[in-house]
Structure 1
Amino acid sequence: MPWREALRPVRMRRIAVVAAPGRLRDALVAVAEAGCVEFDHDGAGQQPPAAPAGSGPTAADLLRGLDTGATAPALAPTAPDLSELLRAGDADLLAGEAQLDEHARAAVRRAGVSALAGWCPDQDFDALSQRLAASGAALVPLRNPRGIDPPTLLRDVKPLHRAASPLLRTYGTVPYADVDPTVAAGLAYVAMFGIMFGDVGHGLLLVAGALLIRFGRIPWLAKLRGLWLFIAGAGLAAAAGGLLYGEFFGPTGVVPALWLKPLDAPTRMLAGAIGIGGLLLAAAYLLGIVNRWREGGPGLAVYASSGVAGAVLFAGLAVIGLGTVRHVHAAVATGVAVAVVGLCAVAVGFYAASGGGGAGVAQTGVELFDTVVRIGSNVVSFSRLAAFGLAHAALGAVIWDATTTAARHGAALLPVAVLVFVLGNALAFTLEALVAGVQALRLEFYELFSRVFDLQGRPFRPWKLPVRSPEVPS
């Protein structure tokens, strides 16, 4: 697969399922069994016709008299006798027939044929065409309707993508035109988690928990099996952070600090956290530029606040900040010039979107102020990477000090020291893992995704039902 295709959602094709009225049911059964078409009734441009008078109760009518509970709908290979389904208690087949009736009644009928419009992944088009041809129907490609984006289906084929996809689904649906940032978002999340939860011992416990989820036989952990690689990645990132900080169940001295000890250099750690945040924001702006181009062309990519204009403004403000800290006046002057250029470009975009006039000028002024303040607050928000990393280190230090204090009072208090160490680390692990997980999620959603995404897509929901023969009542 070309790398460009791997970075975008699955390509969709607008289609119509076309069949003679007598073969429409067979065609719909084939579509349901294939499970790769999402019908769009609104695209037909008409309301579903009412059921013919005197045609008897429908499957939906009969279904109301049954206790379906959690019955999963299914379809019979040929048109069943609804009264026989009711006598046999085949609620799943009745539910399937009710769905099939709904689609059939929404079909457009012209010149002796029936047609239903929808969406199908391009990769499934040929196989579905052959399946429908065997049912006496056809799959016809259509032009995409103007102003309507196809539904989004992401490529959950690689382990890293499957592991990080719940992160994107929690936020929303990637727009069809946008780049799929699932893997990049997952890597950013585990990196931020590792900075805040930096401890080799705690990280290895997370890895052990992930392996237990993957290979264990504990029933209540089975539902987390799809997340095991994501949890393992977070644990490895935490262990790497612990190596940088010299933390192994606290400042025990088991591992050396490859970078710094958090409690000894909090200012340096804070500067590092803001620097990492700046790099992540820069990457988010790059993705935002690509997405704005794909959504609205070069004009939107240049003038959007999450496009080139916003990126230039961010770069100018970053240079101003660095020049101020380093007392380099030339850098400050350069940053001001760059920021002004970016601010003017953003203003043009806001004014064009507002519709112009005096109200547009006022709206542009408010949005410009909000943009500048938001950039500053977003950068400062990454200081929480250092703040919660320091909190984790401080809690570990308190537990270790209490442990060593009890151990120094002789062998009689050695069991107490062990208990303090075990219970203290259990508390720190539970509390800090929760806090770091939530804070990394917050930074991902509010600081990064707000630049990557400007729209919300809609998920691809194909109609998929199994096909089985009805039971024969005794």
Structure 2
Amino acid sequence: MAIEKMTMMNVVGRIENVNEIAKEIILLGNVDIINALNEIRESHFTLSVEEENVDEIVDMSMIQTFEEQINYDDVKKKIDTLKEIYKEDFIINKKYIEEPYDFLKCIPRIEEVYSELIKPYNELKELEEELKKIDEYRKNFIHMKGLDIDVKELIGLKYFTFFVGVLSKEDRIKLKKNYENISAIVLHTGSSDSGEVYLIITPKELEAETNRILRSLNFRKLELPEYYTGTPKEIIQKFKKREEEIKKTIIDLKKRMSELKEKNENFINRCCTRLRMEERIKQLKEQMVSTNNFFYLTGWVPRSDKAHIKNKLSKYKDLLIVYKNEEEITDGFRPPTKLNNPKLFSPFEFLVKMYGIPSYNELDPTIFLSLTYMILFGAMFGDSGQGFILFLLGIAINKGKNTNLIGKILSRLGISSMIFGVLYGSVFGFEHIIPAILIKPFENINTMLFSAIGLGIFFFIISYGYSIANSIKQRDLKEGAFGRNGVAGLLFYVVLLLTIGSNFIEIKIISTRMGVIILGALMIVMTVKEPLTNLILKKRPLYHETPSNYYIESGFDTLETLLNMLSSTVSFIRVGAFALTHVGLFIAFETIAELLGNTTGSILILILGNIIIIGLEGLIVSIQGLRLEYYELFSKYYNGEGVEFKPIKL
């Protein structure tokens, strides 16, 4: 439940060391760079007036944006082409950066390797494309092999033109009906999987009209190569011969390319990593400013990393590093938010960020969301067998490249489902294998529904506590003390529950009359929260708008608060309802299995039922749990209007 404390780091160094220092900062991977020019303009980039800082302070009057003279676009295109040739995205390896190198000296070698590989690569692509076309041509000519006509003679016709194409079975019937309208010779040459093949010969003067009619019949023309001559049968033989030649050439080219690729693979991998570093250095320099002698850099860093940064940069002479805490920074420069949670809960940061990043001065809701979401999911999907399957699925998904967070969340939800399965006494839907430690949902329907509402009330009260804590942290008296989600709202909610509850249980905790009086007083407090706060803090004016507009808006807001409290509480009844649905759905499959009267068929039905329950209901329950988190709980205490900590790194 921690948001790391940040400090602003201002760095001034000699211009000749800028690339090396930029590289070190990128390799550190813990500096969120911000624009140094804006910092200096806002007077946040200040240096102490001491003898050793005089040169840096004097030079600050001559700052300008950093102008990078080198353009790596052409090199990047060549490396991207080489990656395409290798058919892989090379792994970025820090060891290629940590060893000494000069990227400018790498460029001639990159161009040399590119020249060696691009020629055979382009030749290979052309041959492979030709091979595809030959395969397509051969398919087209197969349908014409019965014709004893030299294609060259057809191509050389002076007053006629020809084309070959395919019609579907339905369109062929339409063609027969329109023979008298087509000013052309129509020859059926064969059949293919896609339809009937025709040779059409038409006068050149009537070619446009013939094309118009054929288009209306969905006639699909087949491409024929002009450079092959002879009868269709002879041309097919030429295709076969050319195909053999191409395949032989392709084998030789691939062998040659394989040797070249193997020889240069390590070098290309180094270049990919080093180019990435050069791009990051350029990105970093865009946020710097410089003079003839110095560069100025600024960014946010975690306070816990200050010693590590100092240790890494201590080898550079005349390097000045100044730290400023967020309290010393004026409005307009909010520190970014870096979440730091235990491994058990850190995957759930993904769900928090989907809603919004916590503000720097806001409590991190990750642990509360993690616990409540796992409880809600387990309560709705309580089954030790099905939960174990979800756990295994989570582990399997976790091995994927881009799905590890989802896998980690799923495995934790699976564990929660297993725990509640033991409490419910449920294994793959069966409730007679193990005894229920806590309750059997289907045998205690009312208890499940009321318990779900009780769980919601408990979560709401904790949510109010979070909201009040956030208000204290942000020094917001208006919302913390008198707001709908502050102390007044919490008291209103508790008194409302006690007043309603007293009418359903024998113990009179609070009388209805007293409850109504307290609720009325609290509604008035919430309605007048702005003028009341301004009065206490001695601020003027009391209202940010006209009093009439304020009270109309505030009155409706207070009424909406009352309705929202009741509807949100009742909304948690879905937790009990889905727990019952989970049992009921399996009972349905179990009944079908019994009706079959066949052991094999019954087992298959039960397996199918479990698969459907795990897939379909598991998805629905996870969505419903997330809905309760976002709409019912987050709306009480979480804004999520922060900026994520995004350090520049390789």
- Is TM (by shorter chain) over 0.5? yes
Residue among 83, 97, 118 paired with 2:299: 118
**Secondary structure in 2 matching 1:131:** helix
Q: Name the structure 1 match of 2:468.
A: 289
What CA RMSD, in Å, does the superposition of the two structures yield over aligned residues?
A: 3.3
Q: Structure 1's 458 and 416: CA in aligned 2 closer, same or farther, altered over 3 A? A: same
Does the 8 A contact of 1:315 with 1:339 survive in 2?
no
Deviations 1:275-304 (A, max 9, x none): 100101111111111112112344542133
Deviations 1:371-424 (A, max 9, x none): 2222222111111101211211110111222223334xxxxx121211111111
Q: 1:345, 1:462 → 2: CA distance?
A: 45
Q: 1:368, 1:71 → 2: CA distance?
A: 59
Does the 8 A contact of 1:66 with 1:91 survive in 2?
yes
Q: 1:323, 1:172 → 2: CA distance?
A: 39
**Secondary structure in 2 matching 1:296:** coil
Q: 2:73, 2:471 → 1: CA distance?
A: 45
Residue among 252, 267, 277 paired with 1:96: 277
Q: Structure 1's 33 and 211: CA in aligned 2 closer, same or farther, altered over 3 A? A: closer
Does the 8 A contact of 2:64 with 2:289 survive in 1?
no
Confirm whether residue 361 of structure 1 aligns to residue 551 of structure 2: yes
Confirm whether residue 318 of structure 1 aligns to residue 500 of structure 2: no
Residue among 10, 23, 44 paired with 1:29: 23
Q: Name the structure 1 match of 2:442.
A: 263
Q: Name the structure 2 match of 1:160.
A: 344
Residue among 627, 637, 641 paired with 1:442: 627
Confirm whether residue 146 of structure 1 aligns to residue 302 of structure 2: no
**Secondary structure in 1 matching 2:622:** helix
Q: Structure 1's 105 and 21: CA in aligned 2 closer, same or farther, altered over 3 A? A: farther
How far the C-alpha of 1:364 sits from its partner, in A, is 1.1
Deviations 1:89-109 (A, max 9, x none): 646544533442343354344
Residue among 375, 386, 399 paired with 2:576: 386
Q: 1:27, 1:463 → 2: CA distance?
A: 13
Q: Structure 1's 149 and 72: CA in aligned 2 closer, same or farther, altered over 3 A? A: farther
Does the 8 A contact of 2:466 with 2:637 survive in 1?
yes
Q: 2:283, 2:397 → 1: CA distance?
A: 42
Q: Structure 1's 200 and 334: CA in aligned 2 closer, same or farther, altered over 3 A? A: farther
In structure 1, the gaps of 5 or more residues are 1-6, 408-412, 466-474
Deviations 1:120-144 (A, max 9, x none): 1111111212222212323211253
How far the C-alpha of 1:22 sits from its partner, in A, is 2.2
Does the 8 A contact of 1:316 with 1:334 survive in 2?
no
Deviations 1:139-175 (A, max 9, x none): 211253222321111114x321324322223222122
Does the 8 A contact of 1:196 with 1:386 survive in 2?
yes
Does the 8 A contact of 2:13 with 2:320 survive in 1?
yes
Identity, % of aligned positions: 24
Q: Name the structure 2 match of 1:276.
A: 455
Query: 398-407 or 281-290, which moves further after superposition?
Result: 398-407
Query: 312-321 or 414-423, which moves further after superposition?
Result: 312-321
Q: 1:419, 1:329 → 2: CA distance?
A: 55
Q: Name the structure 2 match of 1:203.
A: 387
How far the C-alpha of 1:337 sits from its partner, in A, is 3.8
Amino acid corresponding to residue 399 of structure 1 in structure 2: F
Residue among 589, 612, 619 paired with 1:427: 612
Confirm whether residue 188 of structure 1 aligns to residue 372 of structure 2: yes
Residue among 481, 488, 494 paired with 1:309: 488
Q: Structure 1's 390 and 116: CA in aligned 2 closer, same or farther, altered over 3 A? A: same
**Secondary structure in 1 matching 2:344:** helix
Q: 1:175, 1:56 → 2: CA distance?
A: 38
Q: Structure 1's 92 and 26: CA in aligned 2 closer, same or farther, altered over 3 A? A: same
Query: 359-368 or 115-124, which moves further after superposition?
Result: 359-368
**Secondary structure in 2 matching 1:160:** coil
Does the 8 A contact of 2:64 with 2:291 survive in 1?
no
How far the C-alpha of 1:61 sits from its partner, in A, is 7.3
Deviations 1:60-89 (A, max 9, x none): 576467647767888967784648537626
Does the 8 A contact of 1:304 with 1:310 survive in 2?
yes
Amino acid corresponding to residue 445 of structure 2 in structure 1: P
Does the 8 A contact of 1:185 with 1:444 survive in 2?
yes
**What TM-score, normalized to structure 1?**
0.83
Q: Name the structure 2 match of 1:375.
A: 565
Amino acid corresponding to residue 346 of structure 1 in structure 2: M
Q: 2:325, 2:385 → 1: CA distance?
A: 57
Q: How many residues align?
A: 446
Query: 99-108 or 355-364, which moves further after superposition?
Result: 99-108
Query: 315-324 or 329-338, which moves further after superposition?
Result: 329-338
Amino acid corresponding to residue 314 of structure 2 in structure 1: A
Q: Name the structure 2 match of 1:174.
A: 358
Confirm whether residue 58 of structure 1 aligns to residue 71 of structure 2: yes
Q: 2:39, 2:577 → 1: CA distance?
A: 56
Does the 8 A contact of 2:471 with 2:479 survive in 1?
yes
Q: 2:343, 2:66 → 1: CA distance?
A: 48
Q: 1:50, 1:109 → 2: CA distance?
A: 6
Q: Name the structure 1 match of 2:649.
A: 464
**What TM-score, normalized to structure 2?**
0.62
How far the C-alpha of 1:110 sits from its partner, in A, is 6.6
In structure 2, the gaps of 5 or more residues are 43-62, 84-88, 112-270, 535-542
Does the 8 A contact of 2:425 with 2:435 survive in 1?
yes
Q: 1:198, 1:331 → 2: CA distance?
A: 39
**Secondary structure in 2 matching 1:263:** helix
Confirm whether residue 44 of structure 1 aligns to residue 39 of structure 2: yes
Does the 8 A contact of 2:499 with 2:510 survive in 1?
no
Q: 2:581, 2:611 → 1: CA distance?
A: 15
Q: Structure 1's 65 and 342: CA in aligned 2 closer, same or farther, altered over 3 A? A: farther
Q: 2:446, 2:437 → 1: CA distance?
A: 17
Query: 9-18 or 35-44, which moves further after superposition?
Result: 35-44
Query: 122-131 or 159-168, which moves further after superposition?
Result: 159-168
Q: 2:41, 2:72 → 1: CA distance?
A: 23
Query: 11-20 or 62-71, which moves further after superposition?
Result: 62-71
Amino acid corresponding to residue 27 of structure 1 in structure 2: I
Amino acid corresponding to residue 425 of structure 1 in structure 2: N
Q: 2:486, 2:316 → 1: CA distance?
A: 49
Q: Structure 1's 26 and 232: CA in aligned 2 closer, same or farther, altered over 3 A? A: closer
Q: Which is greater in Rg?
A: 2
Residue among 12, 15, 27 paired with 2:9: 15
Q: 1:85, 1:72 → 2: CA distance?
A: 20
Query: 77-86 or 387-396, which moves further after superposition?
Result: 77-86
Q: 1:102, 1:207 → 2: CA distance?
A: 42
Does the 8 A contact of 2:66 with 2:285 survive in 1?
no
Deviations 1:418-466 (A, max 9, x none): 111111122122111111111111111111122221341111111112x
**Secondary structure in 2 matching 1:463:** coil
Does the 8 A contact of 1:403 with 1:420 survive in 2?
yes
